[in-house]
């Protein structure tokens, strides 16, 4: 296998996106098959431990307090509720449990509360992941000391398009948090959203930025904008489905060992589109009726699709390989600050 690259030029990524569709999919599938079980898909869900009221202005997000989307601000869930939901997730077959909070960044007083949740979930014998917004170096260290395995923080879009979507923080803020997470020794889940009005060159810029991180994210959520009434991006021209599949395929080629996750927008995807994404290298999905504040295909429909395609849910020994564990999260509502799926558009 060729070594991982972190020196992709924008022109290299754009050239891949420009390939004839069949050629691109074949190349992506070959890379996928060389690094992964081509018929196994990681199953994931999310739990919101703190919903709504976010001070950010992410143009896709229904949890931003400044937009009228019907999402009400809620307090942090009590520890007992989180333990109950994690126990339910484990009983349903989960080996990893994710917790998300609609914060710009957690206050220092919040970190011990989240740390207690992390320790409790670990005590159940599960992996933990969280998406809480921006972290300081010390906060990242505290979460890792509590046993946090994965941290989600999406970069959302290309650096040059970022200010068109979010003005209350800068692209570099995202990179800084990811750096703190890596320094603390946690794994990263980092992707973006497509269909926000960006050009193909800007989609190439998103993929380039992800692949040129010092370490490829262990999980790369590719989100298709879900337009929520009341957010600035409601009414944006819909992204061509084939363009979304191309994005998945290029993510697989340039980040060959990462899990590429179909995240927000899957409820609007046909079975045929999802099948193309799986062939192109997607090997992780969010599972369940609710994905953040937007709908998601139900469990039975996913099981039926898997059966029709001959796909099975990825089952990994948590102790042997924490990087590819099955994930179940329950009922999360998304915020751009807490972005495990990245998204009102979502969103992880």
**Beta-sheet pairing, 312-313 with 40-44:** parallel
**Catalytic position from the list 27, 189, 203, 335:** 189
The answer for residues whose C-beta is within 8 angstroms of residue 187's C-beta and 6 or more apart is: 149, 150, 151, 218, 219, 322, 323
Q: Cβ atoms within 10 A of the Cβ of 299, count?
A: 14
**Catalytic position from the list 85, 96, 98, 337:** 98
What are the start-end ranges of the H helices in the chain?
10-17, 21-35, 79-91, 111-123, 137-145, 162-165, 171-184, 200-211, 241-254, 271-280, 299-309
Q: Cβ atoms within 10 A of the Cβ of 62, count?
A: 30
**Catalytic position from the list 104, 224, 261, 266:** 261
What region, left, alpha or beta, does residue 292 occupy, with left being phi > 0 and alpha being psi -120 to 50 degrees?
left
Residue 261 known to be catalytic: yes
Rounded Cα–Cα distance for residues 121 and 299 (Å): 23
**Beta-sheet pairing, 192-194 with 312-313:** unpaired
How many CA atoms lie less than 13 Å away from 95 in the CB half-sphere? 16
Residue 54 known to be catalytic: yes
- Three-state secondary structure call for residue 127: strand
Residue 61 known to be catalytic: yes
**Catalytic position from the list 129, 190, 277, 335:** 129
Residue 58 known to be catalytic: yes
Residue 10 known to be catalytic: no
By annotation, the residues acting in catalysis are: 54, 58, 61, 98, 129, 189, 261
């Amino acid at each position: 296998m060729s070594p991982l690259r972190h020196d992709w030029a924008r022109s290299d990524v754009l050239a891949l996106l420009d390939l004839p569709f069949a050629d691109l999919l074949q190349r992506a599938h070959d890379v996928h098959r060389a690094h992964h079980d081509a018929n196994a898909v990681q199953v994931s869900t999310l739990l919101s431990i703190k919903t709504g009221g976010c001070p950010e202005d992410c143009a896709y997000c229904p949890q931003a307090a400044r937009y009228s989307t019907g999402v009400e601000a809620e307090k942090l869930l009590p520890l007992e509720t989180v333990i109950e939901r994690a126990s339910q997730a484990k009983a349903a077959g989960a080996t990893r449990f994710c917790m998300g909070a609609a914060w710009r960044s957690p206050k220092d007083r919040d970190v011990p509360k989240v740390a207690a949740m992390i320790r409790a979930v670990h005590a159940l014998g599960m992996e933990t992941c969280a998406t809480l917004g921006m972290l300081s170096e010390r906060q990242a260290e505290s979460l890792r000391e509590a046993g946090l395995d994965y941290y989600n923080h999406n970069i959302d879009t290309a650096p040059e398009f970022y200010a068109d979507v979010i003005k209350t923080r800068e692209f570099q803020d995202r990179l800084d948090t990811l750096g703190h997470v890596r320094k603390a020794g946690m794994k990263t889940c980092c992707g973006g959203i497509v269909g926000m009005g960006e050009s193909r060159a800007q989609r190439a810029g998103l993929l380039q930025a992800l692949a040129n991180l010092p370490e490829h994210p262990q999980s790369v959520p590719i989100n298709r904008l879900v337009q929520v009434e009341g957010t600035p991006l409601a009414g944006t021209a819909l992204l061509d489905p084939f363009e979304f599949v191309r994005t998945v395929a290029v993510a697989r080629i340039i980040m060959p060992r990462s899990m590429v996750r179909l995240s927000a927008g899957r409820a609007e995807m046909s079975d045929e589109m999802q099948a193309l994404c799986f062939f192109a290298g997607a090997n992780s999905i969010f599972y369940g009726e609710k994905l953040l504040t937007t709908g998601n295909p139900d469990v039975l429909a996913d099981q039926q699709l898997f059966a029709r395609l001959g796909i099975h849910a990825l089952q990994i020994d948590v102790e042997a390989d924490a990087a590819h564990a099955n994930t179940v999260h329950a009922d999360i509502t998304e915020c751009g600050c807490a972005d495990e799926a990245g998204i009102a558009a979502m969103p992880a």
